[in-house]
């Protein structure tokens, strides 16, 4: 079982050693419907083939004076057989479509649960467009693989076996030519599938690239337009689209060389010749000839339809492989369901922490401690590792060496859900969902009442601008909150943090998009919210740093100084250099120190 950050009760747990086993396990979940499909299609081909035999008997009656009552009886039998065939196809197709729809939904949900359980490091490596292609188009291919793909293959098998069985009952030696056809058919199909499989697999991968490029362009459309790069993006998309098209052309060439239809034509002619020889020897009757040739004619449908059926099935298997590839991939973190669970007091300690993204080192031998309720400001030049340091607290990432401890316990030993539910983080790039403002504020506390949501918004100085909207807290906002200003988004994020009542609060330059007048109001709200909470504050604003209990100065991923604002102004050249540009805005005493 792959490690994961998130799990749910009754989540899917099927064999994942191969795509075929995973597909079978999902379909077998609906074994009753699968049996209905098999029995109905079997009944369909039995009744359809039997009708051909009866038609042969009727044709033989027309050569001599016949009994009208007998003819009527046989006609009614033919009608009943064909009606039965129709009902069997109806029920079988309905059951098959039900399996296909449920399999598609189950696979999509299993993939979604798996994606939720992946670590941030995993998602950092992925292209969102490709994951979206797997979650949408690839899962749709699974349904097409069942209906009409797998059902047509099953019909193809029955469409060959059942008619040949009836031919065997009429005259066993008449199976000589059809059995030769079956042997050649199997060889041809195996060769066809071997050539088709890699092309179809490459098609799915190319579609993922196409979708990923499209998603990146649409997500970054503002940058594309601002840089006048529409032409470049159009050419890039055209290149991906042509690659996708060329693979379909290659698939068409393989399908054009599908020879079973030619083999069927030869088989039909040779079987007719064989029946003529036997008739000439008085070994079969006219009725037998008509029945046999009608039954041989039935082979044309499975021979022709298998051309498309195998393509759909191979596409489905390739899509299943892409989906399974995501599901099986282990994440760097696990949810540690049996881990420590307790209310966080807020003591935080880093011990000789080393960390980096992939092979790029970020933090080196970082050690410091924070008492419960203290506010720690983290400052440093861009790229010094400030955000990386805070991401280790809630286990967005894990340390490579050393330890991060909360209340004296390594964060890796905490139950992940318990740990993260008591830590709230607000970043400069606030993410809001395409939901109402109220739902966005209550995202971390879904059971909160409207009164609690309003109180949190008031604390974050967001209530006034929310109330100015026609629908107030029920106002729908666009994707990522694009219909709001930067300051409005950050105040909603602050309200979300206040409502979740965290024990550790992380503010990553969270007031950068707020004007000075609003910032003064929010600072008072933040100071009130920080009472009794441990706070990690990343900012370049002296108005926020000055009242921190401890200030950590990072340079090149190392802590080069620590202390209060006044202490660092006197003792740390790194600290003075970082804020030299603010000299003119400092109070006279502090400006003198910088001089």
Res 590: pLDDT: 45
Torsion of CA 314, 316, 317, 323, to 10 degrees: 150
Note the pLDDT of residue 158: 92
DSSP-based three-state secondary structure for 432: coil
Q: Is there a domain that residue 271 lies in?
A: yes
421 within some domain: no
At residue 371, the pLDDT reads 92
User: Using CA atoms, how far apart are residues 515 and 543, in angstroms rounded to an integer?
Assistant: 13
Taking a C-beta distance cutoff of 8 angstroms, is the pair 322, 208 a contact? yes
CATH code, 161 = 1.20.1560.10
Q: Which of 297, 254, 261, 263 is nearest to 183 (CA)?
A: 263
Dist. CA 247–CA 253, nearest whole Å: 10
Residue 4: per-residue pLDDT: 66
List 357's β-bridge partners, or say none. 360
What residues have CB less than 8 Å from 242, skipping those under 6 apart?
A: none
Beta bridge partners of 224: none
User: From CA 514, how far away is CA 288, in angstroms rounded?
Assistant: 90
Tell me how far apart the alpha carbons of residues 131 and 111 are, in angstroms, rounded to a whole number.
Answer: 10
User: Would you put residue 403 in left (φ > 0), alpha (ψ -120 to 50) or beta?
Assistant: beta
pLDDT at 14: 76
Q: Which domain holds residue 120?
A: 19-328
pLDDT digits 0-9 by tens, 411-449: 999 998 889 889 988 877 778 888 899 999 998 888 889
**Which pLDDT belongs to residue 124?**
79
Residue 589 confidence (pLDDT): 42
pTM of the complete model: 0.77
Tokens 């202490």: give the residue. 567
Does the residue 493 lie in any domain? no
Given a cut of 50, the residues of the chain with pLDDT beneath it are 1, 582-587, 589-595
Question: Would you say 122 and 5 are in contact if contact means Cβ atoms under 8 Å apart?
Answer: no
What DSSP designation does 200 have?
H
For 154-202, how does the pLDDT look when each residue is reduced to its tens digit (9 = 90+)?
Answer: 989 999 999 999 999 999 999 999 999 999 999 999 999 899 989 999 9
Give the chain's domain count. Answer: 1
Contact residues for 326 (Cβ-Cβ < 8 A; gap 6+): 111, 114, 115, 131, 134
């Amino acid at each position: 079982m792959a490690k994961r950050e998130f799990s749910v009760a009754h989540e899917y747990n099927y064999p994942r050693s191969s795509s075929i086993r995973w597909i079978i396990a999902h379909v077998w979940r609906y074994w009753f419907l699968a049996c209905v499909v098999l029995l109905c299609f079997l009944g369909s081909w039995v009744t359809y083939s039997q009708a051909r035999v009866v038609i042969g008997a009727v044709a033989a009656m027309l050569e001599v004076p016949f009994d009208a009552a007998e003819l009527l009886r046989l006609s009614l039998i033919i009608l009943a057989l064909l009606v039965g065939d129709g009902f069997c196809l109806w029920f079988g197709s309905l059951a098959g479509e039900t399996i296909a729809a449920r399999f598609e939904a189950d696979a999509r949900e299993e993939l979604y649960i798996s994606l939720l359980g992946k670590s941030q490091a995993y998602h950092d490596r992925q292209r969102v467009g490709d994951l979206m292609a797997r979650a949408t188009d690839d899962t749709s291919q699974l349904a097409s693989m069942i209906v009409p793909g797998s059902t047509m293959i099953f019909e193809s098998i029955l469409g060959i076996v059942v008619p040949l069985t009836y031919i065997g009952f009429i005259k066993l030696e008449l199976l000589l030519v059809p059995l030769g056809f079956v042997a050649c058919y199997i060889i041809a199909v195996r060769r066809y599938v071997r050539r088709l499989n890699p092309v179809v697999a490459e098609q799915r991968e190319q579609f993922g690239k196409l979708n990923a490029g499209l998603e990146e362009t649409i997500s970054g459309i503002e940058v594309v337009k601002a840089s006048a790069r529409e032409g470049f993006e159009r050419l890039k998309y055209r290149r991906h689209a042509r690659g996708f098209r060329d693979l379909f052309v290659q698939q068409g060439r393989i399908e054009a060389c599908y020879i079973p239809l030619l083999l069927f034509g030869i088989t039909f002619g040779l079987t007719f010749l064989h029946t003529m020889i036997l008739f000439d020897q008085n070994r079969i009757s006219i009725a037998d000839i008509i029945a046999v040739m009608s039954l041989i004619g039935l082979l044309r449908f499975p021979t022709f339809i298998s051309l498309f059926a195998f393509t759909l099935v191979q596409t489905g298997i390739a899509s299943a492989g892409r989906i399974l590839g995501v599901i099986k991939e282990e994440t760097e973190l696990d949810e540690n369901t049996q881990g420590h669970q307790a209310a966080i007091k807020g003591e935080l300690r880093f011990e000789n922490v080393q960390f980096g993204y992939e092979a790029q080192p970020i933090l080196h031998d970082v050690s410091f401690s924070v008492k419960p309720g203290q506010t720690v400001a983290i400052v440093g030049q861009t790229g010094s590792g400030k955000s990386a340091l805070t991401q280790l607290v809630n286990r967005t990432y894990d340390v490579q060496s050393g330890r991060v401890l909360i209340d004296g316990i390594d964060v890796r030993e905490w139950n992940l859900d318990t740990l993260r539910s008591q830590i709230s983080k607000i970043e400069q790039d606030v993410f809001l969902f395409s939901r109402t403002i109220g739902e966005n504020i209550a995202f971390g506390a879904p059971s909160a009442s409207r009164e609690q949501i309003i109180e949190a918004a008031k604390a974050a100085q967001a209530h006034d601008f929310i109330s100015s909207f026609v629908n107030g807290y029920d106002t729908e906002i666009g994707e990522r909150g694009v219909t709001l200003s930067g300051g409005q988004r950050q105040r909603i994020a602050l309200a979300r943090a206040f409502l979740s009542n965290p024990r550790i609060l992380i503010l990553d330059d969270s007031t950068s998009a707020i004007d000075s007048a609003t910032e003064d109001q929010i600072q008072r709200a933040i100071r009130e919210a920080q009472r009794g909470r441990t706070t990690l504050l990343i900012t370049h604003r002296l108005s926020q740093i000055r009242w921190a209990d401890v200030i950590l100065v990072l340079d090149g991923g190392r802590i080069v100084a620590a202390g209060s604002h006044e202490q660092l102004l006197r003792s740390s050249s790194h600290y003075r250099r970082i804020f030299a540009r603010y000299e003119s805005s400092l109070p006279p005493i502090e400006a003198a120190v910088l001089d």
